[in-house]
Structure 1
Amino acid sequence: MVSVGIDLIEIHRIERSLQNDYFIKRVFGEHEIAELTGRSYPPESAAAAFAAKEAFSKSIGTGVKGFSLTEVELLHDENGAPYLLLSGKAKQIANEKRFGFSVSISHTRELATAIVIAFHKGA
């Protein structure tokens, strides 16, 4: 392990924001939007995705600077396990640091959380 980022968010904050198309396009990438749309944008899932983006930014030590939130997408594999799909400057930063990432998410009715562990690739 190299570093860790964690975030916790109140779901109602994201639920309100999901009614704003500008927010959706500014925060979620096209793959995320497709996945969330397929599930009718459940606010818990959207909040967990937002928390994962924040946790990622903390794990690389930059905060949300130098890349767009849309470049960090929380997706799920065929078994439902979450993973991060990076693009653009977020991917460039990760490659420069030679980081790979592990992500875990959880939520209740009120809160969503995500933890991202950054590790050196090949370690």
Structure 2
Amino acid sequence: MNILDIGVDIIEIERIRNILENNPRFLDKIFTKNEIDYFKSKGFKAETIAGNFAAKEAVSKSIGTGIRNYNFNDIEVLRNDLGKPVVKTYNNLRQICIDYNVLEIKVSISHCKEYAVANAMTIIKE
């Protein structure tokens, strides 16, 4: 196993709060139905949504392409039974991961009062 790349992103939670108030289509454009269901279970907290947004940005950086040739909702960040973030890929990003021999994309998310931060690591087969 090797590391293809790593990525990190930080975002102001207030920025996401403002987007949620002013752009009703934001959630559907950026997140999958499963992610939106997760946000609903957490009361649509801005810090949770900001953390997932930062995770998607970090994943895109860890792939090495940024958001090119795929959409934000081709990255899905859910939680396992212990609350650990887990990444799934779809559509064009899934094919990119196949082409790059990606085994797994690991992600970690954290937040404080003002910011959410995430880092990601893409692991590939040799």
Give the alignment's TM-score, normalised by structure 2.
0.92
Shift of 1:2: 2.1
* Matching residue of 1:47: 50
* Matching residue of 1:119: 123
Taking only aligned residues, the RMSD between alpha carbons, in angstroms, comes to 1.1
Shift of 1:21: 2.0
* Matching residue of 2:40: 37
Aligned to 1:86, which of 81, 85, 89?
89
Question: Which string of whole-angstrom CA distances, capped at 9 and with x for unpartnered residues, describes residues 26-56 of structure 1?
Answer: 1111110010011111111100100011011
2:24 and 2:98 mapped to 1: Cα distance?
Answer: 31
Overall identity of the aligned pairs, in %: 35
In the comparison of the two structures, how many residue pairs are matched? Answer: 122
* Matching residue of 2:13: 11
CA contact under 8 A between 2:4 and 2:63: conserved in structure 1?
Answer: no
The answer to whether the aligner puts 1:23 opposite 2:26 as a matched pair is yes
Instruction: Please give the secondary structure, in 1, of the residue aligned with 2:55.
Output: helix
Instruction: Please give the secondary structure, in 1, of the residue aligned with 2:108.
Output: strand
Structure 2: runs of 5 or more not aligned: none
* Matching residue of 2:114: 110
Structure 1: runs of 5 or more not aligned: none
